[in-house]
Structure 1
Amino acid sequence: MTAAMLTLAVALAVINIIRIQAEVYSSFAHLERSLQAEQSLAKDIKDYIKQEKVRLEKLERAAEEYEQHSKAALANSESFMGNPINAYLFMKRFTTDWADLSHLLQEDHSYDLLANFEEIRNKGFLPQLVDLQGAAAALMRLQDTYNLNTSEIASGILQGVKRSPGLSAFDCFYFGKYAYNQSDYYHTLLWMQEALNRLPFEPDSPIDRITILDYLTFATFKQGNVRHALLLANEMLQIDPENERALQNKRYFLSNLEESDQPMTIENKRPHRGVRDEEYENYEKLCRGDSIKPFKTPKRTHKLTCSYETNKSPNLLLRPFKVEVLYHSPKIVMWHDVLSEVEMKKVKELATPRLNRATVHNPVTGKLEFAEYRVSKSVFLDSDIDPVVEVISQRIADITGLDMSTAEGLQVANYGMGGQYEPHFDFARRRETHAFSDAIGNRIATVLFYMTDVEAGGATVFPKLGVKVFPKKGSAAFWYNLRRSGIGDYRTRHAACPVLSGAKWVCNKWLHERGQELRRTCSTNPKE
C-alpha cells in the first residue's frame, strides 16, 4: 500500500467514524462498529509499516552493498576498475539495474534522495547508458584482440585468471543484443549462445529462452548458416507453436534451402576489415605478445644494446639517462627511469579534471572528431601551467638535443576500459596539407612516456616492424617520424593496444621540424 493509498484509507475511515459518532450515543451496536473501523484502520497502518520495512530493508541492503563495493574498489581503484568485467558491472549498476532501486526511492519521502542522485548523474559523476554501451563494445574489442573465450569472460576469467564476478544470462543477452543492433552478427552469436547456456541455471532470470533464440536465429542466418537457423526456428516453435516470427523465418529458411544445397555446418567468422586485414592481424598478434616477421628483415637485430648516455648535455653529466635500443632502422629506443614518482603524480593531478574524449584529425575535412579506433581521454598541458611540465620539456631537450620551441604541449592520455588507438601515423601525410602550419612544420619525432605499469595489455606496437613496447612506469619510447629528407617514415605506423586489465596513463610530446635544421641535419637521400 502506497502513502497515497494509506492517506485515502485513513480519510475514509475517519469520515466513517465521524458519521457513526453522530449516532453512537443512541446505540451500542453503532459504537461497536466504530471500534471495528478503528481496528481496520490499525490493520491498514500496520500493513503500510510492514511494506515500508520491506522497502527500507531493500534500500538498506543496497546502501550497504554500495558502501562495501566502493570501499573495496577505492582501496586499489586502478586495479579494480581496470578490470573490464568490474567496470561493466559498475556501469550496469547505475544504468539498467537502477530502475529497481529508483522505483523504491520514488515511494513516500524518497523524492529528495532520487533528485540528488539524478543531479549527480547529470553532472557526469555516474555512468549513463552510453557508458554501458561503450563498455559492451570495449569488452568485445578485448575479446577479439586477445582471443578471449566467451564462456571464460562470462565467468570473470581473463587470460586464465579469475579476476572478477561472473556475468548473468541477462548480461550475456545484453552484449548479444548490443552487437545485434550494430549489425555485428559474429558477436551476437557468441553472446546469445552464452546467454542460452547460462539460462537453465538462473530460474529467476528476467530474460526467457524464446527471446534469446529469436536473436540467435536471425544472427545465425545472417552468418550464412541457414540449416542451423532452421533448427533454431523449429526450437522456438516447440516452445510457442503460434510464434509468428518463427513461422515466417521457417518458411523463408526452407525456401532458401530449396534453392541451394547447403551442408550442415556451423561457421561464425569475424567480419573482414578489407585491405587492412593483414595489418590488423599483425597488430593483434603483437598486442597478444606474439612475434611476427617485420615488413623488411633488419640487418642488425643482434646488435640491440643498452647503455648510459649524456648526449653531451651538462644537465645529464651527473645523472646520465639509461637508453635501450629496440630497433635500428628506423631507430626506436626506450629511455628508462626518466620520470620520477613525484612528477608522474603531479602530471596526473593536473590532467584529471581537464580530461576530454580524445579526437583524431580527419584528413578529408581537416577537422578534429571522435573515432572508435581511438578510445581514451586526453588533454594538452602547456609548460606554463606548472613547473613540472617545463622540467619534463627541458629533459626531453637534454636527451634528444632537439629544439623545443616549436613542440606541442605535453599531451596526457588516460585509457579506460578497452582503451586503444588503432594503427596510425603521428606525422601528417602529403594529402593532409592543413594539419600543421609552415611555421612549425611536420611532426619530426615522438616521445611517449609511460606513467603506469599495466597489468595486462596496453602495449605500443609497430605492425610493419614487429616491434612491441610494453608500458613500464617512468620510462619513455622515442622515435623519429620523418626521414632526414623530411619525408614521412611509413615504417613508424604504430598503435596503442587495448588495455585488458589495469589503468594506463601516458604523456607524450610531439616535436616539429622547425628549429631542428642544425640539430638533425637533412639529407637528399629519400631512404635516410
Structure 2
Amino acid sequence: MLPIWTNLGLVGLLLLCISGVRGELYTALAEMEELLETESVLINNLEGYIRVQEDKLSYLKNKMDEYQREHADASSDITAYVSNPINAYLLTKRLTTDWRQVENLMEHDVGGAFLQNLTQYRNVLKFPSDEDLNGAAVALLRLQDTYQLDTSSVARGKLNGIQYSTAMSSDDCFELGRQSYVNHDYYHTVLWMNEAMSRMLEETHNQTQTFTRADILEYLAFSTYKQGNVESALLMTNELLQLLPYHERANGNKKFYEKEIAHLKEMKRMKGDDGSDEMPVSDLPVAKSDPGVYDITERKAYEMLCRGELKPSPADLRPLRCRYVTNNVPFLRLGPLKLEEAHMDPYIVIYHDAMYDSEMDLIKRMARPRFRRATVQNSVTGALETANYRISKSAWLKTEEDQVIGTVVQRTADMTGLDMDSAEELQVVNYGIGGHYEPHFDFARREEKRAFEGLNLGNRIATVLFYMSDVEQGGATVFTSLHAALWPKKGTAAFWMNLHRDGEGDVRTRHAACPVLTGTKWVSNKWIHERGQEFRRSCDLTEDHGDFAI
C-alpha cells in the first residue's frame, strides 16, 4: 500500500481563521505585522510540500534498492535464476504490477494539494502587492538619504551603527536597485547595483541568484548615463559586450554613447575649451520630492533636524521651564498637569502623562480595523487625496464612541483651555516603513479657499499631538523654521497654537514628521477650530506671542 503523506486539516483551519485585506500595506507598520502570519502559513505549507516530496522519493529509493539487489543476484547466474519458478514469477510481477505502481507514483504530483493551497491563500491571507514592494523600497531609500546611511552598512543590516537584522543578499540589493530604476531614481540605482555586484562576488555558492553580472552592468551603464557620465556608461557597456557580444540593446547603446561623446568633444573644440576649468561632477543626490512642497534650504534643515544635528542654542534653552499647571481648572489643583516648555515664541509645550497605557491600548484597538491611507487636502479642488510625502494610515474616532475617548477629549480641553465642540474627531495615525510627513501647515492659508469645506468651523486654531509609542530611532516632529525638534515619548502630548490672535496663520509652526528609522510610531491628534473660542481666546488686531498656559 502506498503511504499517505498529506494532512491538510490544520491548513483548512488556518484559512478559516485568517481574513485577507489587500493594498498599501507599507503605509502602516500595524498592518505589516500581519504579513508575518502570512509568512508563517506559507512556511508550513512549503514544509508539508517538501515532506511529501521527500516521502515519495524515499519510497522510490527503497524500491530501487530492492530491485537492484534482486537484479544483482539474478545477473550472477541468469539461467539458474529464471529456471526457478518463484524467481520467474517475481521477475514477471516486478515488470508488471510493481513497475506500473512505481510509474504511477512517479507521474503522481503528490504536492498538488499544497500548490492548490497557495491559490486559496491569495484570496484569504494578507499579501503585499507590487505597489507595497515599491513603497517599501522607496521608504528604505528615503531613510538612507535623510539619515545619511552608508549603502554597505544598510546592506549589512546596520542602521546608524546598530545591527538590527541579518545582511541583505546580492539578490536583495539587486531588487532594491531595480525598484529605484523603475522609479527613474538613477542615483540610488547606481548605489544599490554596485552593492549587488560586490555581494555577488562574495557569494560564491549562491544558488538562488536571479541575475548575472551582465544584468547589473546594463542597469549601471544606463543609470550612469542618465546621471550625465557618458564615458563611464560606455566603459560599462563595453564590459557588458565582452560577456555578451551579441547583446542587441548594448550594441545599440554603445553606438549612441560613442556618438554622444564625439558630439561633446566637438562642442568643446568649437568653444576652444580644453576642459581644464570643468566644474567638478557632484555625487550628491538631487532632491527627490516635489519642489513645490518645500525648497532645498528647508529640506536641508528638515533632514538635519531629523538627524539631531540642529540643536537649540543655550540662549534658546535658558528661558524654558518645566512646571505644574492647573489652567484655572479647579480639580487640577489636586493633580496638576506636568508642562514642559519646548519653545517660547511661538509657544510650544509638551504635557507629560497626558495619556495612560490603558487609554492608548484601547484607542489603538479601535483604530486598527478602520485604518485607511492618510490623505492631504488639495489646495485647489479641496478634495482629499493620497500623496507620496505623507506615508501613514489613519482612522477617526468619535468622542461619543467610548468613555475613554471622551476622557481624553476632556483632558485636551483642560490642557488647552479651548472648547472641544469645534474640534475635529480624534485622528489616530500609524506610520509605515520609513513613515513620514514632509513640512506642512496644519492651518489653511488664505489661498486655500476650499480647505475644511463643509465643516463651517473656521480655521484650525490649535494642534494637540499625542505620542502613543516610543520610537527607537527617528520619528521626531520638527519645526523647520524654528530649528526645533520634539522627540516621541509614549504618553506625552505636544500643543501649539496655529493662529495668531488676529486670525492670521503663524507660518513659524510649519512642521514635519521625520521618517521612522527603527521602531513603530503611533500618534493621535486633535485639531481644534476657531468657532466657539471667542471667549476662551479673545481676538486682537495685533499678533500675539502665543503664551497660553497659566
What do residues 496-525 of structure 1 show as CA deviations (whole Å, max 9, x unaligned)? 011110010000000111111111121111
Partner of 1:271: 286
- The answer (yes or no) to whether the contact 1:228–1:264 under 8 Å persists in 2 is no
Partner of 1:290: 309
Partner of 1:252: 256
Partner of 2:45: none
- The answer (yes or no) to whether the contact 2:381–2:450 under 8 Å persists in 1 is no
What do residues 372-430 of structure 1 show as CA deviations (whole Å, max 9, x unaligned)? 00000001111011111110111111121111111111100001211111100000111
Measured in 1, the distance between the counterparts of 2:508 and 2:337 equals 26
Could you tell me the TM-score, scaled by structure 1's length? 0.79
Partner of 1:525: 542
Letter in 1 for 2:485: K
What do residues 40-87 of structure 1 show as CA deviations (whole Å, max 9, x unaligned)? 2244256568x85xxxxxxxxxxxxxxxxxxxxxxxxxxxxxxxxxxx
User: What is the CA distance between 1:175 and its match in structure 2?
Assistant: 1.0
Partner of 1:395: 411
Task: Say yes or no: does 1:155 pair with 2:117.
Answer: no
Alignment of 1:404-483 (within 5 A): 404-436=420-452, 437=454, 439-483=456-500
User: What is the CA distance between 1:330 and its match in structure 2?
Assistant: 0.7
- The answer (yes or no) to whether the contact 2:477–2:514 under 8 Å persists in 1 is yes
What do residues 10-51 of structure 1 show as CA deviations (whole Å, max 9, x unaligned)? xxxxxxxxxxxxxxxxxx9999656522342244256568x8
Equivalent residue for 1:44, pick from 103, 111, 123: 103
User: What is the CA distance between 1:164 and its match in structure 2?
Assistant: 0.5
Deviates more, 1:267-276 or 1:358-367: 267-276
Partner of 2:15: none
Alignment of 1:36-435 (within 5 A): 36-45=95-104, 47=106, 52=110, 107-110=111-114, 112-121=116-125, 125-202=126-203, 203-204=206-207, 205-261=209-265, 267-272=282-287, 274=291, 276-291=295-310, 301-435=317-451
Aligned to 1:439, the other structure's residue is in SS state coil
User: What is the CA distance between 1:113 and its match in structure 2?
Assistant: 2.2
Measured in 2, the distance between the counterparts of 1:473 and 1:141 equals 25
Q: Number of matched residues?
A: 443
Deviates more, 1:221-230 or 1:29-38: 29-38
Measured in 2, the distance between the counterparts of 1:131 and 1:438 equals 34
Aligned to 1:509, the other structure's residue is in SS state strand
Q: Residues 520, 246 of structure 1: CA spacing in aligned structure 2 closer, same or farther, 3 A cutoff?
A: same
Letter in 2 for 1:509: K
Measured in 2, the distance between the counterparts of 1:254 and 1:487 equals 59
Letter in 1 for 2:541: T
Measured in 1, the distance between the counterparts of 2:279 and 2:449 equals 54
Partner of 1:11: none
- The answer (yes or no) to whether the contact 1:446–1:509 under 8 Å persists in 2 is yes
User: What is the CA distance between 1:201 and its match in structure 2?
Assistant: 2.5
- The answer (yes or no) to whether the contact 1:301–1:328 under 8 Å persists in 2 is no
What do residues 250-279 of structure 1 show as CA deviations (whole Å, max 9, x unaligned)? 222122222225789875331235461111
Measured in 2, the distance between the counterparts of 1:32 and 1:283 equals 83
User: What is the CA distance between 1:527 and its match in structure 2?
Assistant: 6.2
Measured in 1, the distance between the counterparts of 2:495 and 2:543 equals 21
- Which structure 1 residue ranges, 5 or more long, are not aligned? 7-27, 53-106
Q: Residues 292, 231 of structure 1: CA spacing in aligned structure 2 closer, same or farther, 3 A cutoff?
A: farther
After the TM superposition, which parts of structure 1 deviate over 4 Å for at least 4 consecutive aligned residues?
A: 28-35, 45-49, 261-267, 297-301
Measured in 2, the distance between the counterparts of 1:292 and 1:384 equals 41
Measured in 1, the distance between the counterparts of 2:184 and 2:178 equals 10
Measured in 1, the distance between the counterparts of 2:426 and 2:244 equals 62
- The answer (yes or no) to whether the contact 2:137–2:179 under 8 Å persists in 1 is yes
Partner of 1:66: none
Aligned to 1:374, the other structure's residue is in SS state coil
Letter in 2 for 1:224: G
Measured in 2, the distance between the counterparts of 1:508 and 1:276 equals 27
Aligned to 2:512, the other structure's residue is in SS state strand
- Which structure 2 residue ranges, 5 or more long, are not aligned? 1-51, 57-86, 266-274, 546-550
- The answer (yes or no) to whether the contact 1:440–1:512 under 8 Å persists in 2 is yes
- The answer (yes or no) to whether the contact 1:226–1:257 under 8 Å persists in 2 is yes
User: What is the CA distance between 1:248 and its match in structure 2?
Assistant: 1.8
